[in-house]
Amino acid sequence: MKNSSFYQIAVDYLTLALKVGENFDAVKKEITYKNKKGTLFLLTTLTSATEVIAISESLINCRMGKKPDYQLYNGSVSEEKDLKNLAKLVFSGVAILLLPENEYALTIEVRNYPTKGISEPNAEKSVRGSKDGFTESINDNIGLLRRRVRDKNLKIELITLGSKSKSDVALVYLDGVGDKKTIDKIREKLNNIDINSLVMTSRALVEKILPQRYNPFPLARYTERPDIASINLFQGKILLICDTSPDVIILPITIFDHFQDVEEYHQSPLVGSLTKIIRTLGIFLSVFLVPLWYILITETGINNYFILRPSKEVQMPLFLQIIIAELFVELIRLAIVHAPSELTSSIGVVAAIILGSVTIELDLFLPEVLVYVSFAAIASFATPSYELSLANRLIKVLLLTLCFLFGRLGFILGCIALFVFLVSKSVYGISYLYPLIPFDRREALKIFYRDDASHKKTL
């Protein structure tokens, strides 16, 4: 039988596109079946060797009179005629089988991405609850979701972004639960993204669909926990899962979504509510404690009635003391994040000695400065959302600067400006300050207390 024109064109195209002979993992393999020869293309670094061997065996054992298409052991076989799509599929780990009598190629699912094992996320640990977490594999992550959401209305749309990186992004939602207009807007934005690569995955993707510019507050929520992602699906949220990233993006969100933590839902309603109150108080203290203390200390007529006023004086101005202490705390945080885990305890000891004993003995800092700055730092570490805690630190420094320049008026104007700024923000039509603005009493109360599970259908 004469080879089809498509067969020879596709073989030449894929040989050139994969640079067979130059790339060590690019394989072009001839397979004999029924006295004819087909060609198999794949990347060994992204495919399962056992499945590739099984494909070869099923073709060798191919019975006469039947098309090889229907005798492959693998059920995930489809037809493809677009040459560009064929190259893209090979680079994503799919095997391409070309048969001389066909005017199309067979794409066979044999992907086996290198990935780490499933384990509990370091940033979202819980004493109770599941201990699994998302990985860098999009297939594993979707599997973890499907294990919890066994609903026929679960929709998973795969979109490829990046003209060079060809990164896979999954748009996940529950049909009939998620807002259709929001889903359409996100889908449209994803399809209109023009980018060469998406190596930075989740962060870069959020900036493409939700431009922030000078807004320090996070407009999307990230999670590495399948249980959190699943419960948000049932609440009508949309998920974006990027291949090579363990961070799943949750949209749309409000600022109070960043106050939520999984641990409070694994305790009794009373304990969970108490935890919520303490955490919410800590988030506000991380922003307002130090600027408010500065005003109480420096404003004439107020400091005489304030119990925790400085016990002594030092030469360095109070504002400069606080700024240096804040910078030092930030340096400690960066050092702990980027240092090897074996050195983190040593960094903490050194920091405690320098920031504590030495600075006080040399009369560089007031003891009260270290107390308030440290307390605010601990409160920021208690913030469930890492992105929100970083934004809060920036707002704290800006408020402190306004207090230094304009006194109590600066503090009041700064708080008003912050409130107006947050009110003006929305994410896909949802107010960033919902349920406070617009006010929803039932939802607003949930900021401070946890519902009893006996009255809920979604747990």
Looking at the fold, whether 98 and 139 belong to one and the same domain comes out as no
Looking at the fold, whether 127 and 12 belong to one and the same domain comes out as no
The answer to the question of residue 236 being in a domain is yes
Reply yes or no on whether the pLDDT at 186 is more than 90.
yes
Poorest-pLDDT segment among 10-24, 66-80, 218-232, 241-255 = 66-80
Poorest-pLDDT segment among 224-228, 324-328, 344-348 = 344-348
Looking at the fold, whether 248 and 276 belong to one and the same domain comes out as no
Looking at the fold, whether 101 and 248 belong to one and the same domain comes out as no
What pLDDT does residue 224 have? 92
The residue among 83, 108, 133 that closes a domain is 108
Looking at the fold, whether 270 and 371 belong to one and the same domain comes out as yes
Region 16-24 average pLDDT? 88
pLDDT grade, residue 64 (50/70/90)?
Answer: very low
pLDDT grade, residue 65 (50/70/90)?
Answer: very low
The answer to the question of residue 455 being in a domain is no
Looking at the fold, whether 135 and 77 belong to one and the same domain comes out as no
What pLDDT does residue 195 have? 84
* Rounded distance between C-alpha atoms, residue 223 and residue 384, angstroms: 10
The answer to the question of residue 222 being in a domain is yes
The residue among 108, 132, 161 that closes a domain is 108
Looking at the fold, whether 79 and 10 belong to one and the same domain comes out as yes
Of the candidates 91, 77, 75, 113, the residue with the CA atom closest to the CA atom of residue 41: 91
Residue range of the domain that includes 45: 5-108
Looking at the structure of the chain, the number of domains it has is 3
Looking at the fold, whether 198 and 298 belong to one and the same domain comes out as no
Looking at the fold, whether 231 and 199 belong to one and the same domain comes out as yes
The answer to the question of residue 113 being in a domain is no
The answer to the question of residue 452 being in a domain is no
Residues 444 and 436: beta-carbon distance below 8 Å:
yes
User: Three-class SS of residue 166?
Assistant: coil
Burial of residue 408 (number of CB atoms within 10 Å: 0-12, 13-18, 19+): middle
Looking at the fold, whether 287 and 249 belong to one and the same domain comes out as no
Looking at the fold, whether 163 and 68 belong to one and the same domain comes out as no
Looking at the fold, whether 309 and 428 belong to one and the same domain comes out as yes
The answer to the question of residue 115 being in a domain is no
What pLDDT does residue 337 have? 75
The whole model's pTM is what?
0.82
